[in-house]
Structure 1
Amino acid sequence: MEVKVHKKGIIVIPVEVRRRLNIKEGSVIELEVEGDKIILKRKMTLLDAYGIDKEMGNSAVKELEKLRKEEVEKENSV
């Protein structure tokens, strides 16, 4: 599939691709560069993960709790 690069590096993702990957306004896309390739990936959010895989959801919650605990510890040490 071909897309055109517009002013300021903006590209338009074709509607068929957006529908297939459930990409909507405000969706976050990860960009990776591998050699001369640009790879775009739809970043999964907690809302996307909710109900898909209970184990994955539980690990996401644990990771959020860990990150929040680290933030609180940093705030308290200042």
Structure 2
Amino acid sequence: MDEYRVSMDVVARQRRAAAARVRLGWWFPVLSAVSWALAVGGEFPAAGYRRLGIPDLPYGQVGGLLFLALIV
């Protein structure tokens, strides 16, 4: 049982070290949420925008491309 706890402590220490190296800022979760909202709800705002005279924009495709860029 003690070996399990030691190995979990090693994994936790490695995870903290990796997170410290990457240091993603506040912008990453914000852009992830925006990209998912665009990709999932891409068709919902289009009907309202058409009434305002704004042409159809590819919200879903823009969100998908933004999400792919964030993943890379």
TM-score range, shorter chain: under 0.3
Structure with greater helix percent = 2
Structure with greater strand percent = 1
User: For the pair shown, which has the larger CA radius of gyration, 1 or 2?
Assistant: 2
TM-score (norm 2): 0.26
TM-score (norm 1): 0.25
Greater relative contact order (CA < 8 Å, ≥ 6 in sequence): 2
